Structure 1
Amino acid sequence: MRVYGVTGWKNAGKTGLMERLVADITGRGFTVSTIKHAHHNVDVDHPGTDSYRHRVAGASEVVLASSGRVALIRELRGADEPRLQDLLARMSPVDLVLIEGYKREPHPKVEAFRSEAGNPLIAPGNDSIRAIASDIPMDSDRPVFDLNDTSGIADFILEEVGLQG
């Protein structure tokens, strides 16, 4: 499966870039799925719903199914967080999986960078970062795109994964 990441520090513009890339790339006719890594507990289920009650009662997995969507919620209950490769293996085939976060994983990535966030670039110490999407001009040994140049960044990613040439 073709994978490409968007990484960066908090408030660097990762999620906005991901959203724009998904819209751009699917608009070109490709199928895209995403994985988002969070450093905090995530809850897509809320107190009072039947599925929440199932989880709280002790269910290891709860599947929510309707005519419009299916969601699988797995409680880790102290088990290790799944590895990225294991998550990818469970996904349905698509043309491209875009991954947000996972800075230390070896898949190729674009680093989102916003100067106002005040964080250093990750790219100098991370060879898996193939390009930088920045809100300011900068010199780098990798391609640098304007953070809002969604089409240019999408072109770069699609060429990198062999979906256009």
Structure 2
Amino acid sequence: MLRLPFAPLIAACLALMPCVAAQAHDPHAATADASAGATAAPIEIVLPDARVVALTDVLLGKVARHALTATAHGKTSTYEGRDFVEVLKVAGVQPVESLEGPQLRTLVTVIGRDGYQVVFALAELDPTIGGRQVMFADRADGAALDARDGPWQLVVPEDQRPARWIRQIARIVVSNAGS
């Protein structure tokens, strides 16, 4: 009689193959599961000098939370989160004082997990110049943002269309135009 010492291991591998094959055919399955997790990976903020700051819960804890009401696609919701300018400040992006000189050409590119990108001029966000209100939101209507939008989304209530309401924020790149 031929003995196969690895037969149980081979049988176990064959039993798992349909699960692995199903995940291989659905590239969104892993993303949906990961985004539904309790702790999201920190967002990377790349500064103009190429330093990278991880936007951790500790840094975010230094910024006060607030709420605002905004409408997108005909639906009005109350969002909760932090002022985007204040988030950028704790990451070292914006000086505490108002912008001037070369800082006026600073761009902030926000990138979603799906590769979607939006750009803000830092001057339009600065409260002493453009004063555009932008929220770095993690909750809507009293609940955490769902996997489709969260864990972080920008809310830009003054924009006529919500094209810059980028969801699933993964990375923020700060650069200087013309340099």
TM-score normalised over the length of structure 2? 0.22
**Greater C-alpha Rg:** 2
TM-score normalised over the length of structure 1? 0.23
Greater relative contact order (Cα < 8 A, sep 6+): 1
